Amino acid sequence: MNQKLTRNQQRTICSKLGRVRLKLLYKASIHGFTGAAFHRQCDNHAPTVSVGYNASGFVFGGYTKQPFCQSGQYVYDDQAFLFTFNGEKLLKYPVTGAAYAVKMINNSGPYFGEALALVNGSKPVAYSNPGNYYNFTAAEMHGNDLNLTECEVYQVEETTELETPWRTLIWKSEKRKELMESIKVYKPTISSVSQARVLLIGAVGAGKSSFFNSVNSVFRGHVTSQAIAGSFSTSLTTQFRTYSLKAGREGKPLPIILCDTMGLEEGKGAGLDLEDISSILKGHLPDCYQFNPTAPLHSETHGYRESPGLKDKIHCVTYVIDACKVSIMSTKMEEKLEAIRRKINLMGIPQLILLTKVDEACPLVKEDVKNVYKSGYVKEMMQEVSARLGVPLSCIVPVKNYNEELELDVNCDILLLSAVIQMLRHVDSYFDELSDRSSNLKTRAERSIVLDRKLRSQTARF
């Protein structure tokens, strides 16, 4: 399920409730515009934020700390309030009769006092009667448009702070310098390869291009935007791009290339094609290749590499996943990622997961990036990703990309650089495996030669 409530709107609501986040429980267009569907998804969950949307562009609803049920009774809640958005500003209407704050009706959605109800009478409409335990004007609340285009209910979850970090990371400028130097001096263990090639794969808007821009920013000393990045419903990246990082504006290329791809999409014939992924992994795809979701790359394409070398192939695959969308990842997207993982596993390429936008997902991290490994919620998200995609927790790293900032932050840099270090360690694993295979083949070949000589010698005696 995709959330209709924007991130800015979610942050605005959460700012009124403390260190919390919103988890989508019910979406009428998916579950149904009925009281039964609402209660099936939302009963016994609390606190909650209920939101209605109409064709006039109004976003309005209410908050209650009481769990929903079907008792037919009013319930007391002195913290309940109704709200509407005036642009980005939240207008709040506190309950005036706490004993009648919420009414539990079985054939309706959220029902606040006798003032406002969403999915009223199991229909895509709202009921509005200002002044009945909540004071507001209808024109300001919903513009007198009671026809709902959507209704959502979110559970309000507190973000817990762990006593001690569950992963150790040194948050000092010296550590930043150490990580940068480690990346600069890195050398692949196979001499024929001078730069590690890491492929970034992820859904539209997950932050693949932003990750390159962010890492590039660290080494440039200021925020950059070389790769096209932003928020859109379809992929902003339409070409296969290979980005080489540089140590400063006039510096030498670093020993790592980040390969950016078209975003994954749920539907067939949209987003990155699975066959194109195979071509990328094997090194056939030329830089700046224009993706065509309906027709994968073929050998007659201009620039196609017939016989790619090891330096052209992908040495590590990194999945980029939006932390804000882990809990609502669709089954289709999960299946697509699983299919990609199976294909890559057969090719023996190490895989890593970047969990982006952890600051947007968790208020603790928003306050201070150093809280990333003290956030119980971030840990739970990483565990969920591990379980759903079948990737060890040790292969999942959280990052915060530069999106709004104009200046660099040491702690953000450390998190980004630590992710690059993990990529290089996975690349080493890839080359180590190749070396081991080559060594085993050589050993078997030598044994075969020795055995052949013995057989010839024995044959000669006879």
Judged against a pLDDT cut of 80, whether residue 416 lies above it is answered with yes
DSSP string, 311-349: GGS-SEEEEEEEGGGSTT--HHHHHHHHHHHHHHHHTT-
pLDDT at 129 over 70: yes
CB 289 within 8 A of CB 240: yes
Q: Residue 19, SS3?
A: coil
**Same-domain pairing of 274 and 372:** yes
Q: How many domains does the chain have?
A: 2
Within a domain: 167? no
Can you give the pLDDT at residue 93? Answer: 97
Q: How far apart are CA 398 and CA 382, in angstroms?
A: 8
State how far the Cα of 324 lies from the Cα of 366, in Å rounded to an integer: 13
Q: And the tokens for 425?
A: 């360690």
- Domain boundary (158, 191, 221) is at 158
363-389 confidence digits (pLDDT tens): 899 999 999 999 999 999 999 999 988
Q: Could you tell me if residue 15 is inside a domain?
A: yes
Per-residue pLDDT tens digits for 317-339: 999 999 988 877 888 888 888 98
Tell me, yes or no, whether 45 and 112 share the same domain.
yes
Q: Are residues 120 and 191 in the same domain?
A: no
Last-in-domain residue among 158, 192, 224: 158
Alpha helices, DSSP H, located in 160-273: 173-184, 208-220
Indicate the range of 108-117, 145-154, 262-271 predicted with least confidence.
Answer: 262-271
pLDDT exceeds cutoff 90 at 270: no
Q: Which position has the higher pLDDT, 125 or 298?
A: 125
Q: How confident is the model at residue 234 (pLDDT cuts 50, 70, 90)?
A: very low
Do 127 and 180 belong to one domain? no
Which pLDDT does position 111 carry in this prediction?
Answer: 97
Confidence of residue 224 (pLDDT cuts 50, 70, 90): confident
Same domain for 70 and 97?
A: yes
Residue 256 and residue 151 share a domain: no
Taking all residues of the chain, what is their mean pLDDT, rounded to a whole number? 89
- Residue range 434-460: mean pLDDT, rounded: 64
Question: Poorest-confidence range of 171-185, 307-321, 356-370, 430-444?
Answer: 430-444
**Among all chains, which residue has been given the structure tokens 């109004």?**
58
Residues 311 and 414 both lie in one domain: yes
pLDDT band at 233 (very low <50, low <70, confident <90, very high): very low
Last residue of a domain, one of 135, 158, 181: 158
Q: What is the pLDDT of residue 148?
A: 98
Q: Which residue has the higher pLDDT, 265 or 445?
A: 265
- Which range, of 5-9, 314-318, 382-386, averages the lowest pLDDT? 5-9
Q: Is residue 461 part of a domain?
A: no
Shared-domain flag, residues 141 and 179? no
Residue 63 has pLDDT above 50, yes or no: yes
In this predicted model, which residue has the larger pLDDT, 400 or 306? 400
Q: Is residue 458 part of a domain?
A: no
Q: In this structure, is residue 462 part of a structural domain? A: no
- For residue 139, pLDDT over 70 is answered with yes
Is the residue at 2 inside a domain?
no
Assigned token pair, 281: 């992994």
Q: According to the model, what pLDDT value does residue 368 have?
A: 94
The answer to whether residues 237 and 352 belong to one domain is yes
Residues 240 and 354 reside in one and the same domain: yes
| Position 165 in a domain | no
- For position 447, what pLDDT does the model report? 61
Q: CATH number of the domain that 337 lies in?
A: 3.40.50.300
In a domain, 141, yes or no: yes
Instruction: Give the pLDDT of residue 331.
Output: 84
- Considering only 94-98, 139-143, 188-192, 273-277, which range has the smallest mean pLDDT? 273-277
Task: Report whether pLDDT(25) > 50.
Answer: yes
At residue 271, the pLDDT reads 61
d(CA 461, CA 336): 63
pLDDT band at residue 16 under the 50/70/90 scheme: very high
Q: Is the pLDDT score of 77 beyond 50?
A: yes
Query: Which range of residues forms the domain containing residue 405?
Result: 173-442
Whether 189 and 305 share a structural domain: yes
CA dihedral 262, 263, 264, 266 (to 10 degrees): -120
Residues 96 and 152 in one domain: yes
From residue 198, alpha-carbon distances to 222, 314, 353 in Å are 23, 6, 12
Place 442 in a pLDDT band, splitting at 50, 70 and 90: low
